[in-house]
Amino acid sequence: MRELTRRDALTAAAGLAALGAGSQASAATTGRRSTASAPDFTDPLVAHRTHVKVVGSLGREVVHSFMRLNLYADLGSGNFVPLFTMNNILVDYWEPKEDDAHEMRKYEVGFYTKFDGYEPLEHFDNPVTGQRVPIHHFRLGPVPRVYTPGGVIAMGFNPRLLPIETLGERVFVATQSIENSPDMVRPGQTNYVNSFMTMSAALADVADPKVLSAPAHLQLQNKNRWQAWMGMGERPGGTVARGFGTKIRDLEALPAAVREGARRFVPEIFDTKNWTEFVFEDSEYLKQRK
């Protein structure tokens, strides 16, 4: 891919704005069918701006998202075994930078409930081992990330943008992360990450230059190692997650049961302005174990 110049950026941005100038308001908010034309997603800069608009914001604002992740045990053979549901809450601070880069500061938490339910788990009765173990809820942040026309600069795993597609009146933005790194909890071993996210937004919102953050639906699939706190030992396999969710207005828009559970188990997410010390799930688990 050739290097993008400042002139290229301005030209592509103007083209994207022109495409959206005559579009109707979003079909998602007006109920009317969109007549917007799809931007040229093969243009690297248009694809980049679309990615940012759908996953976060082209402007300077806080974007809130909520996902429900159903987790299963994959033992390497036979059927998956349902384990529990994670209620995943994300608060992302977005800010535009020079050369069409967009910086995001991420805060993320998750607390566990019964599988496909909203009743918080006080402990985990492992259906594979038959053992009862304490729950270790999920916290991560603040994590910096910069989205550029040439790719994402990230700490930890790096979501790679796949070709953007338009199906009917919706635009689908997909990313994948297939990576590995040294395992912090199990020294000498390797942690494998296989994560796939699909986000979709109304074509009218994507094409409209006045919309900086497109309302989006989110879907996630991933395959990961056993979490150490689950007590799986050296069993082969790992967890498989099936997640779904959406951007939300703010944390008050969370389902009441989720809001109550988050305040009880992961209250840090309600005060991200004072969440300044870096928190990582594995390091927090190691502190707790000691």
Cα-based distances in Å from 201 to 102, 143, 220, 290: 19, 25, 15, 45
Q: Half-sphere exposure (CA, 13 Å, Cβ side) for 62?
A: 12
- 71-80 own/partner pairs: CB under 8 Å, 24+ apart: 71/239, 71/240, 71/241, 72/239, 72/240, 72/241, 72/242, 73/127, 73/128, 73/237, 73/239, 73/240, 74/223, 74/237, 74/238, 74/239, 74/240, 75/128, 75/235, 75/236, 75/237, 76/236, 76/237, 80/240
Identify the pLDDT of residue 28: 40
* pLDDT at res. 285: 63
pTM of the full predicted structure? Answer: 0.85
In this predicted structure, what is the pLDDT of residue 221?
98
Q: CA 211 to CA 25: how far, in whole Å? A: 10
Name the residue among 157, 158, 143 with its Cα closest to residue 104. 143
Q: What is the pLDDT of residue 189?
A: 85
Report domain extents, the chain.
6-289
Pairing of strands 160-161, 165-167: unpaired
Q: Three-state SS across 232-265?
A: CCCCCCEEEEEEEEEEECCHHHCCHHHHHHHHHH
pLDDT of residue 281: 76
pLDDT for position 13: 42
Each residue's pLDDT, cut to its tens digit, for the chain (290 residues) gives 334 444 444 444 444 443 343 333 333 433 445 557 889 999 999 999 999 999 999 999 999 999 999 999 999 999 999 999 999 999 999 999 999 999 999 999 999 999 999 999 999 999 999 999 999 999 999 999 999 999 999 877 788 999 999 999 999 999 999 999 888 778 888 888 899 999 999 999 999 999 999 999 999 999 999 998 999 988 999 999 999 999 999 999 999 999 999 999 999 999 999 999 999 876 666 666 66
Res 182: pLDDT = 87
- Please report the pLDDT score of residue 21 as a whole number: 39
Query: In this predicted structure, what is the pLDDT of residue 247?
Result: 98
